[in-house]
């Protein structure tokens, strides 16, 4: 059974649960078709053809697949009433112009990482990842149950956008370096690609950080414009070919402990959808949030082994001295975002509470279990 058959089967189940019920609605411009049968007034199905721009290179595993899967789910669950055409970075607009394209209505939707929009508001960082912040599971707990989504809605609405989680990379890696990083002095003058608040941490360590879009990174690293780069993790990084230029791979990263990806919808487009259509789109994004996270966890393991054994990549970790200073500076940088305005401060305070709760729970749950799981014993 191919993917589309699976999606259509899923759509049937969703319809039985009421997720796909009631898509029929009054058409806004007469572009629908009248339903057949029945003695009541004709009902028109609201059909939508939407454009989604992404911040990802075309054909990129994982990140590039997520928007395609969301579009396929939505089309299947609406029986073709909503079709979403995907434009990779640069096909309709450059990667970092996706937000403005959706805000202005040039495009209907985007798939990307919210911290790319920190030039609009530093608060957007919290809805992707911040240095020494929340893990993937902790971030979902905050967004879905801890008031994070409501604050995100308030922030995005200022730019005529409705945003929601639509994928997760899990813990990201520290990056690719041409030379080893052994002391804090090694960051002085280092030119590294790192967006978001992680980039600001690097600057305070003495490095020069910039937020290059995905399609531009390899060439910049190859030509020496940058000395190091982070991207995601072994699976995506391998496909980008960074190991051909830089052989030192630092694990883990401090900057993105669980990066949430997002779909943003033009607010007018969102409000013009029927309630059922909004529900279906939300559920399709929520499904990708879980599916994408599982995909990264599965393929990262094999890719890391391949990088080490086939491409002779050297795995390294930052020293305790470096990590201690990174943690100190990260705390300062993240706290300073709260000074931007009242909304950012409220987001920060809510995020801080979620972090405190997450640390307290993980100490007796995930961390404790993983420690015990490493004890020597034989399975089977």
Question: Which domain, by its residues, includes 30?
Answer: 3-169+258-297
Collapsing DSSP states into helix, strand and coil, what is residue 165?
strand
Give the C-alpha separation, 327 to 307, whole Å: 28
Give the C-alpha separation, 70 to 65, whole Å: 9
Return the pLDDT at 154: 98
Kindly state the average pLDDT of the residues 164-192. 97
Establish if 161 belongs to a structural domain.
Answer: yes
Establish if 318 belongs to a structural domain.
Answer: no
Instruction: Return all residues near 281 (Cβ < 8 A) that are at least 6 apart.
Output: 74, 82, 263, 265, 273
Return the pLDDT at 101: 98
Establish if 220 belongs to a structural domain.
Answer: no
Kindly state the average pLDDT of the residues 185-200. 97
Instruction: Return all residues near 84 (Cβ < 8 A) that are at least 6 apart.
Output: 50, 51, 52, 67, 70, 71, 74, 75, 108, 109
Residue 39: band (very low, low, confident or very high) from pLDDT cuts 50, 70, 90: very low
Return the pLDDT at 292: 97
Return the pLDDT at 178: 96
Give residue-wise pLDDT tens across range 329-348.
999 999 999 999 999 999 99
Return the pLDDT at 376: 87
Give the C-alpha separation, 24 to 2, whole Å: 28
Q: Do the Cβ atoms of 44 and 32 come closer than 8 Å?
A: yes
Residue 46: band (very low, low, confident or very high) from pLDDT cuts 50, 70, 90: confident
Taking the model in full, what pTM does it have? 0.86
Return the CATH number at 23.
Answer: 3.40.190.170
Give residue-wise pLDDT tens across range 82-134.
999 999 999 999 999 999 999 999 999 999 999 999 999 999 999 999 999 99
| pLDDT greater than 60 at residue 183 | yes
Return the pLDDT at 14: 44
| pLDDT greater than 60 at residue 11 | no
Residue 45: band (very low, low, confident or very high) from pLDDT cuts 50, 70, 90: low
Phi-psi region of 319 (alpha: psi -120 to 50; beta: other; left: phi over 0): beta
Q: Do the Cβ atoms of 288 and 109 come closer than 8 Å?
A: no
Portion of the chain with pLDDT greater than 70, in percent: 88
DSSP-assigned beta bridge partners for residue 164: 263
Kindly state the average pLDDT of the residues 316-339. 97
Q: How many domains does the chain have?
A: 1
Least trusted range by pLDDT, from 11-15, 119-123, 222-226, 284-288: 11-15
Establish if 109 belongs to a structural domain.
Answer: yes
Establish if 340 belongs to a structural domain.
Answer: no
Which residue reads 């990379």 in tokens? Answer: 169
Average pLDDT, the chain: 90
Establish if 27 belongs to a structural domain.
Answer: yes
Establish if 283 belongs to a structural domain.
Answer: yes
Establish if 122 belongs to a structural domain.
Answer: yes
Instruction: Return all residues near 243 (Cβ < 8 A) that are at least 6 apart.
Output: 176, 237, 249, 307, 311, 313
Q: Do the Cβ atoms of 88 and 64 come closer than 8 Å?
A: yes
| pLDDT greater than 90 at residue 378 | no
Kindly state the average pLDDT of the residues 254-265. 97
Nearest residue to 126 (alpha-carbon basis) of 136, 116, 114: 114
Kindly state the average pLDDT of the residues 248-256. 97
């Amino acid at each position: 059974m191919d993917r589309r058959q699976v999606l259509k089967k899923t759509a049937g189940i969703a319809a039985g649960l009421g997720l796909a019920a009631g898509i029929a609605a009054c058409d806004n411009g007469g572009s629908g078709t009248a339903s057949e049968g029945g003695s009541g007034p004709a009902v028109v199905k609201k059909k939508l053809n939407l454009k989604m721009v992404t911040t990802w290179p075309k054909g990129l595993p994982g990140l590039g697949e997520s928007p395609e899967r969301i579009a396929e789910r939505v089309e299947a669950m609406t029986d073709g009433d909503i079709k979403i055409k995907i434009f990779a970075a640069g096909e309709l607009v450059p990667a970092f112009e996706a937000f403005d394209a959706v805000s202005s209505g040039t495009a209907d939707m985007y798939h990307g990482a919210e911290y790319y929009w920190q030039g609009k508001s530093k608060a957007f960082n919290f809805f992707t990842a911040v240095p020494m912040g929340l893990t993937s599971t902790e971030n979902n707990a905050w967004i879905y149950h801890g008031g994070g989504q409501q604050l995100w809605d308030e922030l995005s609405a200022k730019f005529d956008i409705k945003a929601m989680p639509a994928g997760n990379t899990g813990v990201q890696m520290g990056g690719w370096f041409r030379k080893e990083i052994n002391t804090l002095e090694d960051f002085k003058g280092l030119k590294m690609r790192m967006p978001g608040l992680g980039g600001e941490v690097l600057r305070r360590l003495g490095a020069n950080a910039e937020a290059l879009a995905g399609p531009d990174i390899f060439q910049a690293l190859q030509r020496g414009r940058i000395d190091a780069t982070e991207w995601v993790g072994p699976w995506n990084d391998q496909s980008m070919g960074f190991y051909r230029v830089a052989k030192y791979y630092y694990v883990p990263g401090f900057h993105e402990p669980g990066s949430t990806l997002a779909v943003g919808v033009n607010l007018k487009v969102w409000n013009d959808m029927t309630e059922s259509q909004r529900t279906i789109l939300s559920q399709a994004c929520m499904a990708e949030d879980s599916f994408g996270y599982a995909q990264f966890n599965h393929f990262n393991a094999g890719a890391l082994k391949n990088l080490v054994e086939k491409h002779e990549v050297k795995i390294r970790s930052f020293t305790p001295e470096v990590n201690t200073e990174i943690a100190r500076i990260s705390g300062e940088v993240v706290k300073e975002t709260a000074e931007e305005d009242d909304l950012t401060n409220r987001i920060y305070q809510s995020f801080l509470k979620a972090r405190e709760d997450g640390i307290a729970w993980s100490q007796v749950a995930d961390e404790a279990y993983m420690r015990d799981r490493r004890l020597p014993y034989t399975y089977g």
